[in-house]
Amino acid sequence: MATFLYRLGRFAFRRRHLVALFWVALLALAGVGAAGAPAAGNSSFSIPGTEAQKAFDLLDERFPGSSADGATARVVFKAPAGEKMTDAENKKAVRNTVDALADGSEVAVVTDPYQAGGISRDGTIAYASVSYKVSGMELEDSSRDALEGAAEDARKSGLTVEIGGDALQTVPHTGSAEIIGIGVAAVVLVITFGSLLAAGLPLVTAIVGVGIGVASITALASTLDLGSTTSILASMIGLAVGIDYALFVVSRYRAELAEGRDREEAAGRAVGTAGSAVVFAGLTVVIALVGLAVVNIPMLTKMGVAAAGTVALAVLIALTLIPALLGYAGRRVRPAGEKSKLLGGGRAAKKPQRPNMGTRWASFVVRRPLAVLLLGVIGLGAAAVPAASLELGLPDDGSQPTSTTQRRAYDLLSEGFGPGFNGPLVVVVDAKDSDDPQAAFRQTGEDIKGLDNVVNVGPAQPNKAGDTATITVIPDAKPSSVTTEDLVHDIRDTGADIGSDTGADVLVTGATAMNIDVSQKLNDALAPYLILVVGLAFLLLIVVFRSILVPLKAALGFLLSVMAALGAVVAVYQWGWLSGLMGVEETGPIMSMMPIFMVGVVFGLAMDYEVFLVTRIREAYVHGEKPGQAVVTGFRYSARVVTAAAVIMIAVFSGFIGSSDSMVKMIGFGLAVAVLFDAFVVRMAIVPAVLALLGKRAWWLPKWLDRALPNVDVEGESLRTEGDPKDEDRELVRA
């Protein structure tokens, strides 16, 4: 592989006009496709194999035209102090609002609170429900404007009016913090390279890669039903790895220049060595992201595949566009150790060259490996303690900032009707095979009334055929509480008894039940996902490092860092530690897909640093150095760059903490903390300590396995004996 990539690097360097034109044309093509495509909305949410989804599909079949998947809104009214919603003027204002809402072309049903029992017991709060014929993703802006306009007209009469539900959901934005993250990355690159031009190359290429990836996602969003969050997460991961991969290639290029090689040769060797590490690091990330498909949640699968595509683009750009741009830069990109004149280059050195920080740190760890190992493991273990209290759920309007109308509507409904009113359960009774459907409906309602933590059970609402009915159940606790989750399980257990007595099938659905089923499905999928992803990556790393213990150590180190990161997420978003600093207005359960998504992404990124760092160590060992000295040599050449890459990635991920979407905010924080722990504790401390303790045993591989494995030559050993392969480049052009 090293030889092939070496030739590719030289080809891209020489034929830079052709390579640059290709990427510019691809970016333009993706941009044109995105400009002409419909805007991404909220992806349709289906969870195959869950009871909530089965009931949802049954409603579509048995209640045709009911728009079970249509958008909904609750317009909540509160009377001024000292007044009631039943007062004549307030009643008139509410009914005017209901009439105005009913005129919408996409509106299916609007309930009148005075006819549907939508008045609180104290008479101060009322609500009108609006059901639409289309989903929130398909809802036209004119319908949203009409909804907000009707609420504004009602406010003019003196009422407090807020709107809840998914009808007002908007595309989340990441805020200016993302730009700050890129700014931090730029500063780190300048410090690392000592050159503005060299620092700019990784930023430019990362932006090109993310631009192509996000534009492609936008162009295909409507066709493939990709939600707005998909492009945000793809840009988050693509930007971070794009900068990192380019950083490693440029850094190796400057190191090759410092050894006296000409620029074309240096570009070829940089792609042949660092590029090999980029390929395998990228493969681990792609495996981890595509592996999310095993969870069988379409939305999560699409997010993973889209992000994996952006990572693949980052790899290809690092292998081709970076050497092409290095060709354009010429002598303006200086050898390692030299700074540009603007940043102080050319001045006489006042002191003799000292060992760099990476060398000094690695020497310390090699002298005290056991102490460093114990300190790192104990520290990460302590950080992971809060993860034992992990509670999972999906965000609802109660997790929105208090500045939003959705959150204020949620609070008003909790005040007037109880916290459970925000998460009603829909019980679907399928009595098609029952001898007496009416008796089945009646028994279901009576049995549910006898359960704990139930505030109200509505009357059965049968369909026209009379073989299926829905029953609305109001829990006593808020939607995201453990109490409500227990109630869903109790209703399902009761439904099994009802089924044996009446022959009816009782199912529980609704947004709350769907969230509970999603959490359960994600929990059940976590272990198989870990086995699949870690297993495949373990095999890949055996091929890369030709060792059993090094990949095993890499996997165990990853588990330490991801558990510590989950502990930090629980401490901030569930316990409320530093919540004000992180912009968390409402603590609660951790988003259900957070653990499995973090496992996938963090594993891929952790293996990035493992590959980049340990390949340099193995390169030194293969070339004859003793194990301890190889660790020091590897750190001398790679620690500075790995540190810069980690700081950049942390900065990029931290930028997404400013997002308006609670899921993106939490993922940004979790990934930033995970990279912090993995890069600076696991890879920079635990890895060299373990390698120092293992010595030569770290690189042990059974002879039969050594013969069976392909030699991918990540260290570029073949390049040391490679002649001048300029003639062989023609073979690449023909291929």
**What are the DSSP calls for 240-303, one per residue?**
HHHHHHHHHHHHHHHHHHHTT--HHHHHHHHHHHHHHHHHHHHHHHHHHHHGGGGG--HHHHHH
- The pLDDT tens digits for 251-308 are 889 888 888 888 999 999 999 888 888 888 888 888 888 888 888 888 788 888 888 8
Reduced to 3 states (helix: H, G, I; strand: E, B; else coil), residue 432 is coil
- The pLDDT tens digits for 454-465 are 988 888 889 888
Q: What is the pLDDT of the chain when averaged over all its residues?
A: 83
Q: Which of 22-26, 37-41, 124-128 has the lowest mean pLDDT?
A: 37-41
Q: What is the mean pLDDT of residues 130-143?
A: 78
Residue in this structure with the two tokens 């095999």, named with its chain if needed:
539
- Selection from 166, 92, 93, 98 nearest residue 134 by Cα: 166
Pairing of strands 505-509, 160-164: unpaired
At 728, the pLDDT band (50, 70, 90 cuts) reads very low
Q: What is the pLDDT of residue 734?
A: 40
Q: How far is Cα 334 from Cα 49, in angstroms, rounded to an integer?
A: 58
Cα distances from 222 to residues 123, 302, 313, 654, in angstroms, run 45, 13, 22, 29
Q: What is the pLDDT of residue 120?
A: 92
Q: How far is Cα 632 from Cα 630, in angstroms, rounded to an integer?
A: 5
Q: Which of 33-47, 134-148, 698-712 has the lowest mean pLDDT?
A: 33-47
Contact (CB, 8 A) for 249 and 271: yes
- The pLDDT tens digits for 313-329 are 999 999 999 999 999 98
Q: What is the pLDDT of residue 730?
A: 41
At 471, the pLDDT band (50, 70, 90 cuts) reads very high
Beta strands in 407-528 (DSSP E): 425-430, 454-457, 461-462, 468-475, 505-509
Non-local (6+) Cβ contacts of 501 within 8 A are 443
Which range scores top for mean pLDDT: 235-244, 594-603, 688-697? 688-697
Q: How far is Cα 100 from Cα 386, in angstroms, rounded to an integer?
A: 50
Contact (CB, 8 A) for 375 and 684: no
Q: Which of 213-217, 366-370, 669-673 has the lowest mean pLDDT?
A: 213-217
Does residue 346 or residue 192 have the better pLDDT?
Answer: 192
Does residue 687 or residue 715 have the better pLDDT?
Answer: 687
Q: How far is Cα 496 from Cα 493, in angstroms, rounded to an integer?
A: 5
- The three-state (H, E, C) secondary structure of 208-242, written as one string: HHHHHHHHHHHHHHHHHCCCHHHHHHHHHHHHHHH
Give the strand order in the sheet containing 72-78: 107-110, 125-132, 72-78, 160-164
Q: Say if residue 119 is exposed, middle or buried (CB neighbours under 10 Å; 0-12, 13-18, 19+).
A: buried
At 581, the pLDDT band (50, 70, 90 cuts) reads confident
Q: Say if residue 731 is exposed, middle or buried (CB neighbours under 10 Å; 0-12, 13-18, 19+).
A: exposed
Does residue 38 or residue 192 have the better pLDDT?
Answer: 192
Q: How far is Cα 403 from Cα 660, in angstroms, rounded to an integer?
A: 11
- Selection from 683, 691, 687, 685 nearest residue 630 by Cα: 691
Percent of the chain with pLDDT over 70: 89
Q: What is the pLDDT of residue 40?
A: 53
Q: Is residue 65's pLDDT more than 80?
A: no
- Selection from 453, 257, 426 nearest residue 336 by Cα: 257
Q: Is residue 508's pLDDT more than 90?
A: yes
Q: What is the mean pLDDT of residues 565-572?
A: 92
- Selection from 364, 225, 365 nearest residue 306 by Cα: 225
Q: How far is Cα 519 from Cα 50, in angstroms, rounded to an integer?
A: 11
Cα distances from 498 to residues 338, 354, 491, 502, in angstroms, run 79, 79, 10, 6
- The pLDDT tens digits for 514-540 are 888 888 888 888 888 888 888 887 888
Full-model pTM: 0.77
Does residue 347 or residue 8 have the better pLDDT?
Answer: 8
Q: What is the pLDDT of residue 45?
A: 58
Q: What is the DSSP letter of 334?
A: P
